[in-house]
Amino acid sequence: MQRRDFVGAALSAFGVALAQESDAPGAGAAVPTRTAKVEKLFKAPDIHPNALEATVEGLWIGDQVSDRVFRVDWNTGKLLHEFQTEAHNTSGLAVGGGYVWISCNGGVHGRRAARPTDKSFGEIVQADPETGKTVKTWTLPWGNGIHGITWAAQTKTLWVTALGISALVEMQPSDLRILRIVAVHGDRPHGLDWDGGALWCLFAGDRSAQKIEGKSGKVLEIVKISSTDPDPHGMCIRDGYMYYCDAGLTESSAGSAPGYVCRFRLS
């Protein structure tokens, strides 16, 4: 199913809101664009970090291969808490509503031994934040393809990056009903975080982050990441900084630094 066909079907089936699409970011207006000044901070506890989430208790990190979840100290990277999950190909992580939400992009691609809970398709795992025990698994309404996931504290909803339809999707956490679909323009929308009515989305293929208005889909700002900096995958924001991690598994650049957590200042 093509993206526009899916959007139409979703509107009919769920009665969701649809942000207006434009042919280019910013609906024809010039979008403020700059290049990030990136600093490497520390290595993640495991070697393929692909998901980040910001909380006051620490920085949460999800590993793409081991599918373990860690919470570390913001300043030192010291391990504070960890658990094994039943996720597979962990690609995003959210903490909110009393749960950890893990976006699984499906399959482990021979990177580790298979487990009974592995799936060949994408899903969201809802887990206990202390033990990592699975509470429920959710299939994706759009079929497949998911990376970033974030908890919007103001609305108490989840937002995810839906790769299969090139969109950001807002969902009701009680039943994962689709509330809103926002079309995006970029290569491999990955890390995602909520910023008071807007969303920051990290496009791994484009090596750039877009600040996107949640209601309209308008791009408000673009920050580019140089090829001499670590490769971008998972992402979160905290205290005026964007944090991102280099999973070390997909396209690499001159600045590749597998396993590292980095950050740069937002305007």
Q: What is the DSSP letter of 109?
A: T
pLDDT by residue (tens digit) across 135-147?
999 999 998 899 9
Burial class (CB in 10 A: 0-12, 13-18, 19+), 256: middle
Mean pLDDT, residues 189-213: 96
Burial class (CB in 10 A: 0-12, 13-18, 19+), 113: exposed
Q: What is the DSSP letter of 8?
A: H
Which pLDDT band holds residue 10 (cuts at 50, 70, 90)? low
Cα–Cα distance, 161 to 33 (Å, whole number): 22
Domains in the chain, ordered, with CATH?
3-265 (2.120.10.30)
Task: Tally Cβ neighbours within 10 Å of residue 137.
Answer: 16
- Taking only Cα atoms into account, the Rg of the chain, rounded to an integer number of angstroms, comes to 17
Mean pLDDT, residues 67-88: 97
Percent of the chain at pLDDT > 90 equals 84
Rounded to two decimals, the pTM is 0.91
Residue 11 has pLDDT above 50, yes or no: no
